[in-house]
Every structure is written in structure tokens, then in C-alpha cells.
Amino acid sequence: MIDSIKKMFSSSESGGYNDGSKPDISREKSTQLYEKAKQYFPGGVNSPVRAFKSVHGAPLFIEKGDGCRIWDADGNEFIDFCCSWGPLILGHNHEKVRESVTEALQNGLSFGAPTVLENELAELILQNNRYLEKIRFVSSGTEAVMSAIRLARGYTKKDKIIKFEGCYHGHSDSLLVKAGSGLVTFGETSSAGVPKSFADETIVIPLNDKDAIEDAFGQFKDQVAAVIIEGIPANNGLLIQEQEYVEYLRKITTENNALLIFDEVITGFRLGFEGAAAYYDIQPDIITYGKIIGGGMPVGAYGASSDIMSYISPDGGVYQAGTLSGNPIAMAAGIAQLTVLKNGVYKSLNSKTKDFVEALRRFVAAKNYKVKIFSVGSIFWIAFTDQEQIRAASDIDPASMEKYKVMHRELLNRGIYFGPSGYEVGFVSSAHTKTDLEKTKRAIFESLEVVFR
């Protein structure tokens, strides 16, 4: 009996166990750092998903990144598909971004006053984006969306906002809401500290449901300032919307004198230089962007037509300000990153992502695994489902996250870093080489074998 138990847990020739799993990597230093962090921060982290509550083990404390790789405090090396949640489209520590930041640092960190770098980055964006005429820099994607909502209300002189289940728009009060039980419902606060009166101005409806949005405009006629949707919803799985549906959103908002806001914090400059607006060839009224415009540094922006943007202070009565808006270091990083992107990255980046995803699809099909890989541009999502399409949050089976939890652990043990939640998408960067992607494919194949064994 004892011998059979020993055999069950003995290492295989590949360095793992005979069920195909790999021994866990050392997390000794990360665990020590996490225990210490709990003394300083709620839950030991400064953003909730970092706590690794949805996956195995203590969170990894990252020490450095270079190219497509990161290293943790225990010296473990990983091929990174989180890419700081998307903005590191050129990979970590890109030479041109680093040099641009280093040069800007010589002149100081912050002035709270205009700099030429703001002009340069704005010109780079506006001259290469058909969907914007003016922009305003802020310090985060959350701030960009918060400001866009205020602008929409100020411009339309209406108060209510329609958002969709499964779309995340940062943690501002009026958007940190969830749906109730009805088809069309006022939002219910999904966080303590959000007043009910704030949530009551937000109407939450399902994605991919024309009847729901029609009912919303019917019930709240002449009260809706804007409809906000992620360019392609990618914060709760990858919920790719059909062209016809997005065109319908454009049509119904126009008919009801409401604005259409594309939250492109994830998709902006990731799908292409003009993001989801160009992907669907649809003109939103307001577009928001995140830290990809700053090479991953704390920055965001919102933009629109000159007419709509004229409502922003000091030209108009919609107030929005920020000492760090247009921070010179972030501007310098953004100029470097977007210059590289403008000069041609997307074709090769999207092509290698497509090859990578198709290889995964062939494998799971051959094995008849209940797995689908959804992808757009250089974004992908591995879902444990047999549904051919997932376009709404309600289509995601919460029980499937247990399988992701096993896969995540196996991937870490094979040197592959995915986001610590099965609802998060993955990102390929220009720094991922063919060799890196081949290694990753093998690791995913082996990890799925463990999941389904």
C-alpha cells in the first residue's frame, strides 16, 4: 500500500508527477512578501485581482520584466501574457520607450503645467485617428471614463447612463454597478460605499439583446445621456459583439439624442491604431483610452468631436482637472510607443496571434476537449465551454473557473504567466517570438491534459 502511494506521487521522467502535473514552483519569497504586505494593505494588495484569490497559491511579487518575460522575487522566469493587463503591446522594457523616458527624466518628473510633449503625443494620436478631433489627457482609464460620462451628461443635459452586464469601466461610483433581476433594471450597487442614488442613474442591460436596449429607451425616454460599451468587451471574458448589433447601438443612440461611448481602455491601439472604432467602422461620440497611450505608465485620455469637447472646462461648463494630467514622463513613453505602433506592428502581431490561437484550436478539437479559444487582434481568451460563441456575461459558466484554476497553476509551473482569473483575457506582444509561442503552446497542451485527465 505504502509503495503504491509513493509511486503515485513520484516524479515522472519530465520532472512532474505521473498524472502529468508539474511540481509547484518555489514561492517562498513571494509568500513572505505577501504576508508582510498584509500588514500594510487591505488583503495585502493595491488592486484586488492581484491577491490570487481565484487561483492557487500566494501572489507572485514581480521584480523585473524584459521583452515578453517577467521574473519574480524567487527568481522564477515566466513568458508573460498579461502584459500589465494589455498596454505593454511592445513587451516589457522596450528600448525606445525606456530611452524616451530616461531622456524626459533629466528635465524633471512633474510640473502641473503645459509641456511640448503633450502637444506631440496629441498630434501623433489625432493625425492618425479619424474618429477624434480633440482629446484631453488624464491619469488613468477609470478617470477617462468618469470624465466621459460627465461630459455626456453635460452635453446632453440628461442624467441616465445605459451600460451592459459584463462590461467593466473602472471603479467610478456611477459605473460600479451590477444588474438586478429584470430585463431592464436600475443598477444595484456592487460595492459598499456607492450610494443607491448614484446607482439609480445607471441602467444595466444584457449584451447582445436589442429588445433590452429598446425597452430601456422606451422606459426612460428623453432621460438617457449615453450608452457606454467596451469597444469589444474584454474584462469579463472576450465577448465579441456582432457588427449588426454595434451598428444598432449607433442607430438607436442617434435616434434618441443620446451619445455612444466606446470604452477603449483595452481595445484602443491594441486592435489597431484606431481601435474598435475602426474594427467596426463606426463613429462613437466619445472614446476613452488607457495606459497603452503612455507605454504602460499611469495615463488615460478621452476624446470626441471639437463640438463635444468644447463643453470641457475651460472652454465650457463641464469641469475636469488633474495635476498629473499630461505628465511629461508618461507623455514621453507614449510618444515612443505609439510611434513604433504607427510605423507598422499590427500586421505581424495579429498574424502570429492568429497562428497561435489556431494551433490551440486544432489541439482541443483533436482531443475533443470542452474548450473554446476566442480571439480578436492580439487578444485571446481560453474558455472552458462548448459554446461556439459567447457574447453575453450570462453565457459564462462560473463552474468552469475551477478548470482554469488548475490550468493556471500548471502553466505557472511550466513558466507561463496568465492573468490570475479565468475571466481575464490574454495578450500577445510584439516581443513574443515564434519560439516563445511554441513553448507556450506545449505548456498549454500539457496543462490541458492535466485538467481533463
pLDDT in tens, 165-194: 888 888 776 676 764 433 344 455 567 777
All 3 cell numbers of residue 198?
448614484
pTM comes to 0.92
Q: Give the residue-averaged pLDDT of 404-424.
A: 97
Domain 2-80+345-452 homologous superfamily, CATH: Aspartate Aminotransferase, domain 1 (3.90.1150.10)
Fold match flag (2-80+345-452 vs 95-342): no
Confidence category of residue 297, pLDDT binned at 50, 70, 90: very high
Q: Enter the C-alpha cell of residue 135.
A: 482629446
Distance CA 164, CA 262 (A): 12
- Quote the DSSP letter at residue 26: P
Return all residues near 269 (Cβ < 8 A) that are at least 6 apart: 89, 275, 289, 292, 293, 338, 341
Is the pLDDT at 5 greater than 60? The verdict is no
- Which single residue is written with the C-alpha cell 503625443? 121
| Burial letters 160-193, b for 16+ CB under 10 A, else e | bbbbbbbbbbbebbbbbbbbeeeebbbbbbeeee
User: With 0-12 CB in 10 A as exposed, 13-18 as middle and 19+ as buried, what is 75?
Assistant: exposed
CATH level 3 topology of 95-342: Aspartate Aminotransferase; domain 2 (3.40.640)
Q: Which residues are catalytic, by number?
A: 168, 263, 291
Name the DSSP class of 312: B
Whole-angstrom CA distances from 282 to 205, 265, 300, 306 are 21, 17, 21, 18
Edge-to-edge strand ranges of the sheet holding 77-80: 62-66, 69-72, 77-80, 416-417
User: In the chain, where are the structural domains located?
Assistant: 2-80+345-452, 95-342
Helices (H) and strands (E) in the chain, counts: 14, 17
- pLDDT per position as a tens digit, 32-48: 999 999 999 999 999 98
pLDDT value at position 11?
Answer: 38
User: Which cell numbers hold the place of 395?
Assistant: 453565457
Distances 47 to 36, 41, 298, 322, 346 between C-alpha atoms, Å: 16, 10, 14, 22, 30
Angle at 197 between CA 194 and CA 202, to 5 degrees: 85
Strand-pair category, 224-230 with 259-263: parallel
258 to 172, 222, 250, 284, 364: CA distances (angstroms) = 21, 8, 10, 11, 44
Section 208-227 average pLDDT: 96
Average pLDDT over residues 1-28: 61
**Phi–psi pair at 224, nearest 5 degrees:** -90, 120
At 18 the pLDDT is 67
